[in-house]
Amino acid sequence: MKVMEKAPAKINLSLDVLYKREDGFHEVEMVMTMVDLADRLEMQELSRDTIIISSQAGYIPLDEKNLAFQAARLIKDRYHVRKGVYIHLDKKIPVAAGLAGGSSDAAAALRGLNRLWNLNIPLEELKALGAELGSDVPFCIQGGTALATGRGEKLTPITSPPQCWVVLAKPPLNVSTADVYGRLKASEIRRHPDTKSVIEAIGTQDFNRLCGSLGNVLEDVTLQLYPEVRQLKECMQRMGAEGVLMSGSGPTVFGLVAKETKAEKLYNGLRGFCKDVYAVRLLT
Ligand SMILES: C[C@@](CO)(OP(=O)(O)O)[C@H](O)COP(=O)(O)OP(=O)(O)OC[C@H]1O[C@@H](n2ccc(N)nc2=O)[C@H](O)[C@@H]1O
Ligand SMILES: Nc1ncnc2c1ncn2[C@@H]1O[C@H](COP(=O)(O)OP(=O)(O)O)[C@@H](O)[C@H]1O
């Protein structure tokens, strides 16, 4: 038996941090949505009780550090599965980019193995399992668009944003999420994003208001550490993107554009600036 799963990237349309918690995590308020840039996982059952990961990407761990491996081990242990699995990861999402590539692979592995082994784990239980692997994993299991609170695992689904083009550019830097949160002084945040306005703009399908309401407090840290991310934002704004924001802890910057011709112009302009550039649609 073999199953396939798509693992799409996410972007944060709003990312606010309310405070640092006792457990070391930050209490967040985020609006997240999926874009049509995805890894693909092929999972094949093995009669031998083992987990094997392969990938065409030479730059990710293939051992127990891989989040898809961790997902397979977790589901096997928790549901006493004695069989094994071979997972091939076709990697398309850039790594350590703020696009939740690893989290989405873990989510796809949980969804796929639930089917492969006929475990019939309900969605809520699968999301709780995902939360053990990372804060973004429950959202990656659920998909769509959602308001995420808690450390990111408490989800309220919302309607899809108005359809548009999303141009993504990742400068050649690897940003550590833990490092960015670690440097954030939650009590000193000067300007909090207007998450309510982002949700209202989505509710009324008001593209211009959505673009004007985007905000991410982690930009305060990452743009300070890496001035090239700020330059990239300015570059996208100059090239006419209607809304521009860093995704997650960065360093990927995305631009929202209504018209395909403008998305093409932005894509071609940015290709001179960095290697990892994508023009995709929202996954609505
Ligand atoms: C910043 C965001 C925004 O969507 O995305 P990325 O930039 O990673 O894509 C997420 O909050 C990242 O979620 P995820 O990457 O799953 O984080 P985790 O593995 O749970 O945590 C990594 C580390 O980040 C810090 N962390 C994470 C989430 C949170 N609410 N508060 C935190 O302080 C912790 O130091 C933790 O050890
Ligand atoms: N399946 C995977 N895909 C990508 N990165 C992975 C995977 N499993 C583990 N990692 C590790 O997770 C770290 C964060 O990667 P990623 O999930 O792409 O970042 P981000 O959350 O910023 O989008 C990297 O250091 C990478 O080595």
Q: For a pocket test of ligand 1, which of 35, 74, 136, 247 has the largest count of ligand atoms closer than 8 A to its C-beta?
A: 136
As given in the structure block, the two tokens for residue 246 are 């860093």
The whole-angstrom distance between residue 265's C-alpha and the CA centroid of its chain comes to 25
Annotated catalytic, 36? no
Tell me the CA distances in angstroms from 281 to 8, 121, 257, one per residue in order: 12, 31, 10
For the chain, domains (ranges, CATH) are 2-158 (3.30.230.10), 165-281 (3.30.70.890)
Query: What are the pocket residues of ligand 2 if the criterion is a CB atom closer than 6 Å to any ligand atom?
Result: 60-61, 65-68, 89, 95-103, 105, 177, 248-249
Q: What is the pLDDT of residues 33-70, one digit of tens each?
A: 999 999 999 999 999 999 999 999 988 999 999 999 99
Calpha distance 13→250 (Å, rounded): 13
Predicted ipTM beyond 0.90:
yes
Annotated catalytic, 10? yes
C-alpha of residue 236 to centroid of ligand 2, in Å: 25
As given in the structure block, the two tokens for residue 271 are 């290709």
User: Does pTM surpass 0.95?
Assistant: yes
Calpha distance 87→101 (Å, rounded): 16
SS3 content of the chain, % helix, strand, coil (to 5): 35, 30, 35
Nearest to 265 by CA among 247, 238, 243: 238
Instruction: Judge contact between 116 and 1, C-beta under 8 A.
Output: yes
Q: What is the pLDDT of residues 173-216, one digit of tens each?
A: 989 999 999 999 999 998 999 999 999 999 999 999 999 999 99
The answer to whether the bond into 122 is cis (omega within 30° of 0) is no
